[in-house]
Amino acid sequence: MATVTGAMTTTNVLSNQLAIDIGNEISLLEPDVQPLAVFSRAASKERTVATKFKWLEDESKARFDTTSSTATSTVTVIPVSNGVYYQQWDQVLNTRTGEQFRVDSVSANELTVTRGIGSTATAMNSGDELMIIGTAQPEGDTSKPARAKNPSLVENFTQIFRTPFEVTGTLQAVSFMVKPSEWNRVARNAGIEHAKDIELSFVLGRRSASTPGATEDRTTGGVLSFITSNQTDAGGNLTEAEFNAAMLQAMRYGSSSKLAIASGVGVSALNKFPASKQITKNDETTYGMNVTHYTSPFGSLNLVYHRLLEGQKYGGYIIIVDMAQVAYRYLANDEVSRDTKVLPNRQPNDADGTKSEYLSECGLRFGLQRTHALITGITS
């Protein structure tokens, strides 16, 4: 027993005698999964009965092509980039010169043509834009051969997401001075991380199937792995002209109203435009979250700040998505569903503790990639 000379103070009294003042709840840096799982929560849900799911996509007839070499005003054989686009009797416009010509026959990537239909034959440059504007057949002619394109087959995989959480029996039995209990705390945190795993995979993931052991390991392809068209690199400062050009591409096909998930830098870039006067903020809940509506001459965006778009690269992204072409596909049949669930009692039979886990087996259907768009490289 120690002897204290003089006054007893808070520094020399036995520490176990002092009351402990601690908040009654543990604060969490990311307390709500809703703003973190923006995309996966907004997507409609559809079941799939196979780990590899497929869908078919169709598109309109190609109308634009280019010349692949120069041609004088008298040349009647025109090399083009894609001869398969053309048929006899097609009327084609050189958009640079204004000359219209008729396709008389097609051989591979060469067109035999009649020049100057209703216009003046003019020398062509390599790379001139050509537009198929229609067909014109002679009176009394027989029908030309029918043409049709097969739809394209697109596929993706489901991915197995597992996030366990566990405490010992002893820890479950002790009392805590703060809330929530340790079991509830680790369960909550595991659920948030599980949702973030799915969200990041649906946005950034790449499709794959490999066999690292005795069974197959599959990953689902995310948004960025599908968007190959309609990409704009801001290269630093995003200008209003660049954004309008990206909107023109994004809104050419698909819905007139789309979801834009944006990094903090991307949101700030949009808010600086004079056109930001057209942004109407409201408390309506669209896609299950608060949004900012941005109206442009080409269509409207439901703009959402995405907290997981961060870092040196993705911190400068705005992803424009046509949600009508997107679905969250979970593996299920008429008896068993692998949509997100908590599986209890995953510990061994003789374990002195409790273990559970979140499990999801799901993948992303991302259709018609030309209905979506991507803006990258934004720094301001």
Residues 202-228 pLDDT 10s: 999 999 999 999 999 999 999 999 999
Instruction: List the domain boundaries for the chain.
Output: 30-58+151-380, 64-135
Determine the average pLDDT of the residues in 352-357: 94
- Give the strand order in the sheet containing 289-296: 231-236, 373-378, 318-321, 257-262, 299-305, 289-296, 279-286
Which residues 6+ apart lie within 8 Å of 215 measured at CB?
Answer: none
Q: Answer whether residue 344 shows pLDDT above 60.
A: yes
Give pLDDT, residue 24. Answer: 58
Q: How confident is the model at residue 22 (pLDDT cuts 50, 70, 90)?
A: low
Give pLDDT, residue 121. Answer: 97
Q: Check if the beta carbon of residue 129 is closer than 8 Å to that of residue 62.
A: no
Residues 356-367 pLDDT 10s: 999 999 999 999
169: which 2 tokens? 């029996």
pTM here is 0.85
Q: How confident is the model at residue 354 (pLDDT cuts 50, 70, 90)?
A: very high
Give pLDDT, residue 67. Answer: 97
83: which 2 tokens? 């001869």
Determine the average pLDDT of the residues in 111-125: 97
Determine the average pLDDT of the residues in 336-348: 94
Q: How confident is the model at residue 4 (pLDDT cuts 50, 70, 90)?
A: confident
264: which 2 tokens? 């903090």
Share of the chain above pLDDT 70, in %: 90
CA distances from 371 to 83, 165, 217 (A): 26, 40, 30
Residues 181-197 pLDDT 10s: 888 889 999 999 999 99
- C-alpha gyration radius of the chain: 30
Phi, psi of 12 (to 5 degrees): -110, -10
Fold topology of 30-58+151-380: phage-related protein like fold (3.90.1690)
Share the mean pLDDT of the chain.
89
